[in-house]
Each structure stands twice: as structure tokens, then as C-alpha cells.
Amino acid sequence: MEFNGYKRGDGRYGVRNHVMAISTVACASGVVDAIGRVFPDVTAIHYAYGCGYGPDDFFTSLNTMSGFVSNPNVGAVLVIGLGCELLKSEYIAQAVKGKPVESFDVQQYGSAASTKKGIDIVEKFLAHVEIQKRQPAPVSDLIVGLVCGGSDAFSGVTANPSVGVASDMLVKQGATVIMGETTEMIGAAHILKNRCDDKDLSEKIEKLVLDQEKFVRDYLGEWAGLVIAPGNMDGGLSSITEKSLGCITKSGTTPIRQLVDYAAKPTKAGLTIMNTTGYDIDDMAGMTAGGAQIILFTTGRGTPAGFPAIPVIKVSSNTSTFKSMAGDIDINAGSILDGEKDIASVGGEIFQMVFKVASGETTRAEINKSRPFNCLKQGPSF
């Protein structure tokens, strides 16, 4: 199977052709906003931190932002800094290979002149991407991220198993699938451990989950057993183990091929585990920095969240949420509860939609321009 994508200079294929303007620190976001008002089709993004923070957060944000703007769905990128922040705009720009990139700092020119400069650059970028055409790309160039957010007790019964079917089909075709949300693997280490290709990987996955469990227990003490959002408890889930078992079903049944750090690129086709948190936006940032061009996102209680430059396909676990958030959800796995469809047929529908979306069909979150951005930050600001 193939999809029609935009070939980049680094050999990867984008499923979108976005021109992006991004600030590396919140202080510079006004200029990005001004550019976004002039060009509504430009993906104008803020990063909320970037100023004073520790080395772990610095390198996490550097890797994430560099990976994210390098994502093949971005056709050209303008990086705007303030000038005095730790996360310099030029560091991010230097990481971008094989496509147009420029960077500058607002302290060089002031807001008004920076905006004018930014508009000129973006105009040039738009002209560049406009003439690019989609061309056939092999499935082996497709990376799909798996996310669940606002889960309810039906997520693990309808939507996640359906995505699991689609995952298996994608892997069979040669694609790469990334599952994250390490916190939501707690209690399921013994299952994941037995799904690994080799003993070394099996031990790494088990250690990852058990270490995360220990971290949660040490950090949260007697609250540790209930590391699930209150929304999830209203939905009938009573413990992280219950949620985890329902969560990991979206990875299907194929062997785990690789474990990668947050924001790192998978190097093997098949199922990859990425060490991410359960916060959907941070999770998607890590996966898209790792090269995911599409996200499959299951939700029980519903969420409008997409992600900048990345088509996010929403799968609801129940028809009530599908109806109340009809403009936000792409596929309704609640039809399984209604007796209209089964898991295999919804899984097939999701698989088909991945290919349609890869070749240009828009998702609800894209139409709504719902594209929150954030990335992992765990330490203090200084």
C-alpha cells in the first residue's frame, strides 16, 4: 500500500505541507500571533517556556522543538526567539535539514519590524510550498502515534481495541506505530514484558514501567493508586491498573520492537514504545518530534485537542460523546455498544481513514484548527 505525501530533503514524507511560525519563548509570542493574523493558514505556535530552567528541561525542549519543526508535515519553518532565553531560536533552526528554515530574535529589530520581517519570510515560504506536489510514498515511511485522552470505561472496550486492530493492520503493512503514556502502563508491566521481541528489550520495558510506578508511589504516596483524572473516575474506571489494561489494547497484538526516549525517532518499523507522560499534549509533542505524521486519538469523555501540523484522528468510545461533540470526533466506536458494528469493522474503518488522511483528507481537529502545543517540562523555572 501507498499514500501520497510531500517528499522532504531528508528523505521523509509529510502528509501535510504546513508553513510554521514558532516562538521559542513565550515573550516572543506576540510576533508569532501577528504573523498568524496576517496568514490564517500559517501554523503559528507558541512555546510557553524556554527561558530559565534546568539542563534536563533544556535538552528535552531542545530535542522536542527540533524534532517537531523537522517533522515532515512541516514544509518550511520560521523560528522566532526573544534573544536572551536559554532555548535560542538558532539552536532549533540549526537542527532543520532539507527544507527552508529561518530564525531571528525580536530583540534585534523590535516587535513591529520583527513582524514585518516575519511576514516577508512567511510569504516566501508560502510561495515555496505552494508549488510542491504530493507523490506516492511507501507505507514504511508512515509513523502513526497512538494516544488516549479523557478516557472512560468504554475506551478500553470499544475505541482502544478498535485502534488496536488498526495498529496491527498498519504494522502488517510495514508502518511504524508509537505508543506512549508510560504512567498508563502501570499495572500492565507483566503483559507488556511478554510482548517484546528479545529479552533485553523485555527487561527494559519492565524496568521502565516499574520505575515509573515507583516514581508515582514515592511522589504521590497514598494517592498513588489513583493516578487517574477525576473525569476518568466519573466514567467508571476505579484504578490505574484498570485504565492501563484498557489503554494498552490500542497497541494491538504485534511484538514491541523498540523502546525510545521522549521525542526520539524510532529506527525500526513495527510497534515502538515511547516514554511519555499521560498528558495528551506533551504525549503528542514527543511522538511528532519522533516523526509521527498522524495521531490516532481515542477518547471516552471527549476532547477537541488536535496538534499543530499533525492530523489527529479522533475515535470516540461511545455514541453519546460522539453526538455531543459531533464536530470534534471523526469515528464513533460507540457503534459497537449500539450493536451496529464490531471491533474488527471499526478497526478496518480507522485503518482506511489513516490512508485517506495521509493523502490529504482533513480531520475534525484540523477543520477546527484545534492545535494546542506544549512539551514535557518536569523541573522548576529559574
Instruction: Summarize as ranges the residues that interact with other proteins (CB under 8 A).
Output: 152-154, 156-157, 187, 191, 210-211, 213-214, 217-218, 224-226, 233, 235-236, 238-242, 245-246, 300, 318, 320, 337, 339
| Radius of gyration, alpha carbons of the chain | 20
In 3D space, the residue among 114, 56, 59, 55 whose CA is nearest the CA of residue 83 turns out to be 114
Q: Which is nearer to other proteins, 1 or 337 (CB)?
A: 337
* Secondary structure (DSSP) of 156-188: IIIIHHHHHHHHHHHHHTT-EEEE--GGGGTT-
Q: Which is nearer to other proteins, 7 or 301 (CB)?
A: 301
Q: Which is nearer to other proteins, 248 or 310 (CB)?
A: 248
State the minimum distance, in angstroms, from the CB of residue 159 to other proteins: 12
State the minimum distance, in angstroms, from the CB of residue 217 to other proteins: 7
State the minimum distance, in angstroms, from the CB of residue 258 to other proteins: 22
- The four Cα atoms 160, 303, 212, 216 give a dihedral, to 10 degrees, of -130
Q: Which is nearer to other proteins, 248 or 271 (CB)?
A: 248
How many C-beta neighbours within 10 Å does residue 221 have? 8
Q: Which is nearer to other proteins, 100 or 225 (CB)?
A: 225
State the minimum distance, in angstroms, from the CB of residue 252 to other proteins: 15
List the strands of the sheet with 143-148, edge to edge.
256-260, 270-274, 176-179, 143-148, 294-299, 312-316, 331-332
Q: Which is nearer to other proteins, 225 or 372 (CB)?
A: 225
Q: Which is nearer to other proteins, 132 or 241 (CB)?
A: 241
Residue 9 parent element (H or E): none
Q: Which is nearer to other proteins, 95 or 224 (CB)?
A: 224
Q: How far apart are the C-alpha atoms of 70 and 97, rounded to whole Å?
A: 7
Question: Which ranges of 188-261 would DSSP assign to H, the alpha helix?
Answer: 189-193, 199-220, 230-234, 240-248
Beta strands in the chain (DSSP E): 2-7, 13-14, 18-23, 43-45, 74-81, 101-105, 135-138, 143-148, 176-179, 256-260, 270-274, 294-299, 312-316, 331-332
In 3D space, the residue among 146, 145, 150 whose CA is nearest the CA of residue 322 turns out to be 150
Q: How far apart are the C-alpha atoms of 235 and 342, rounded to whole Å?
A: 22
Q: How far apart are the C-alpha atoms of 230 and 138, rounded to whole Å?
A: 42
Q: Which is nearer to other proteins, 228 or 309 (CB)?
A: 228
Q: How far apart are the C-alpha atoms of 47 and 60, rounded to whole Å?
A: 13
In 3D space, the residue among 204, 148, 145, 140 whose CA is nearest the CA of residue 178 turns out to be 145
